[in-house]
Chain A
Amino acid sequence: MMQRVKRYFRPEQLRELSLVFLILLIFLFFGTQIEGYFSPRTFNRVTSDVAIIAVVAMGETLVLLTRNFDLSVGSIVGLTAFFTGKLLTFNPDLLPVGALLFAIGLGAALGTLNGVLVAYGKVPSLIVTLGTLAIYRSILVAFPAGTKNVVTQDLPQWLLDLGGMQLFSIGEFDIKPVVAVGLVMLVIFQLVTSYTRFGRRLYAIGSNPEAARVGGLPSQRIVLFAFILCGAMAGLAGFMFLVRYGNLTPAAAQGMELQGIAAAVVGGVSTLGGVGTMIGAMLGALMINLLQQSLLRWLVISTFWVGALLGLMILISVTIDAVIINRLRNIWTQQGLEINPVDETKVVNEKESHDA
Chain B
Amino acid sequence: MGENGAGKSTLIKIMTGVYHSDEGEMLLDGRPIRVNNSVDAQVYGLAAIYQEPMVYPDLNVAENIFISHRSQGVIVNWRKMYQEAEKILAELDVNLDVRMPARGLTLAAQQTIEIAKAISLDVRVLIMDEPTASLSAHEVEQLFKLTRSLRDQGVSILFISHRMDEVFEIADRVTVFRDGRWISTLPRGEITHERAIRDMVGREIEDFFAKRVGQRGEQLMAVRGLNKENVFSDINFEVYGGEVLGFAGLVGSRRTDVGLALFGVEPADSGEIILKGKAEKIHSPEQALRVGIAYMTEDRRQIGLTMPMSITSNISLPMLHQYLSRFGLIQRQAEEATAEHYRDRLSIRTPSIQQPVAMLSGGNQQKVMLSKWLNTRPQVLILDEPTRGIDVGAKAEVHHIINELAAQGLGIILISSDMPEILAMSDRILVMREGRQMGIFTRQDATQEIVLTAAMGQDRSPLETA
**Interface on A for B, CB 8 Å cutoff?**
7-8, 10, 194-201, 203-204, 206-208, 210-212, 214-217, 274-275, 329-330, 332-334, 336-337, 339-344, 346-348, 350-351
Contacts and interface: CB of A to CB of B under 8 A. Distances in A.
Contacts of A337: 100, 104-106, 109
B95 A343 contact: yes
A197 B72 contact: yes
Nearest first, the 4 closest Cβ-Cβ pairs linking A and B are A216-B38, A333-B104, A211-B54, A274-B58
B56 A274 contact: yes
Contacts of A275: 58
Given A7-B97, A216-B38, A350-B145, 14 more contacts: A195-B78, A196-B76, A197-B72, A197-B73, A198-B74, A200-B63, A204-B59, A204-B67, A333-B103, A333-B104, A340-B96, A342-B95, A347-B93, A351-B145
Given A215-B68, A343-B95, A351-B145, A197 B59 contact: no
Interface SS of chain B: helix, strand, loop or mixed?
loop
B50 A214 contact: yes
Contacts of A350: 145
Nearest to A205: B56
Q: How large is the interface on B (under 10, 10 to 19, 20 to 34, 35 or more residues)?
A: 35 or more
Given A348-B141, A351-B145, A217 B68 contact: yes
Nearest to B39: A216
A51 B84 CA distance: 40
Interface in B5-57: 17-18, 37-39, 41-42, 50, 54-57
Most chain A CB atoms below 10 A, which of B41, B67, B74 = B67
B104 A334 contact: yes
B166 to A, nearest CB: 15
Contacts of A330: 103-104
Most chain B CB atoms below 10 A, which of A208, A212, A341 = A208
B104 A341 contact: no
Interface SS of chain A: helix, strand, loop or mixed?
helix
A200 B18 CA distance: 23
A216 B72 contact: no
A8 B76 CA distance: 18
B59 A203 contact: yes
A213 to B, nearest CB: 8
B321 interface: no
Interface in B125-160: 138, 141-142, 145
Interface in B67-103: 67-68, 72-76, 78, 93-97, 99-101, 103
23 contacts: A7-B97, A8-B99, A196-B74, A196-B76, A197-B72, A199-B76, A206-B58, A211-B54, A215-B38, A216-B17, A216-B37, A274-B57, A275-B58, A329-B104, A330-B104, A336-B97, A337-B100, A340-B97, A342-B94, A342-B95, A342-B109, A348-B141, A351-B145
